[in-house]
Structure 1
Amino acid sequence: MAEYISKHEPIEEIQRIYCTGCNSYNGAMCRSCEHQDDMYIIEDTKAADVQPVKHGRWITWDDSGFTKCSCCNSEYYISDLQVVGDSEGFVGFCPNCGARMDGEAQC
């Protein structure tokens, strides 16, 4: 699985550790020390197109045969979301908004 980081964190860490005495750090690049190339490489790296993972849960009410996503409120027939062998019995994500259905409703 790919891992993603913020570009700014490693640059700030390089600046904090190595650029303490040069006083030429301008917020993105160090202009005078030997770590300038490291910061250019990080800044020039193309950013991945990612979005934060949403966490939700399936909300089931009465015996109507419906359930809905706690994040986007999209409703589905329970039979359309059931997965044989799954511990919870439903798919692990919302087909509409992509929220991971791990029981941590954070939406």
Structure 2
Amino acid sequence: MTKYIDAENLINELSAACMPIYEKGITGILGDNSSIADIINEQPTADVQEVKHGYWKSQKQSGFYRLADYECSICGYDNDETPDYCAFCGAKMEGFDD
């Protein structure tokens, strides 16, 4: 599973660990007997969500009833407008079908 960390927090932790990083290397022992790898692995994870990418699909007329002009390619949500994100599933919309 991918682990997302706060890079600024990591830099601060490593800077405070007594010896410069370039002198110890990635597995070197720092002043408090922690390795750089230990510090990286102990970083709190960020609360992130993977971005879904979709596009707006044109709808066709159906009998006497008009469907919405566009449909989300991810969830099928109908919409007459084309915002940058789908209001139903949150997908980032990247254009239109051809």
TM-score normalized by the length of structure 2: 0.54
Equivalent residue number for residue 103 of structure 1: 95
1:38, distance to aligned residue in structure 2 (A): 1.4
Does residue 75 (structure 1) correspond to residue 78 (structure 2)? The answer is yes
1:57, distance to aligned residue in structure 2 (A): 0.7
What are the ranges of 5 or more consecutive residues in structure 2 without an aligned counterpart? 6-24
**What's the Cα RMSD here?**
3.1
The size of the alignment, in residue pairs, is 70
Q: 3-state DSSP class of the match of 2:46?
A: coil
What are the ranges of 5 or more consecutive residues in structure 1 without an aligned counterpart? 8-17, 20-29, 82-89
Equivalent residue number for residue 44 of structure 1: 42
Q: Show the 5 A alignment for 1:19-34.
A: 33-34=28-29
Q: Tell me the distance in 1 between the aligned counterparts of 2:77 and 2:54.
A: 12
CA contact (8 A) 1:55 1:103 kept: no
Identity %: 29
C-alpha change, 1:37 and 1:53, in structure 2 (3 Å) is: same
The list of structure 1 runs, each at least 4 consecutive aligned residues, that deviate by more than 4 angstroms after superposition, is none
**Pair member with larger Rg:** 2
Amino acid at match of 2:77: S
C-alpha change, 1:42 and 1:104, in structure 2 (3 Å) is: farther
Once the two structures are superposed, residues 25-50 of structure 1 have per-residue CA deviations (whole angstroms, 9 ceiling, x without a partner) of: xxxxx5xx426431122111111121
Q: Tell me the distance in 1 between the aligned counterparts of 2:83 and 2:57.
A: 13
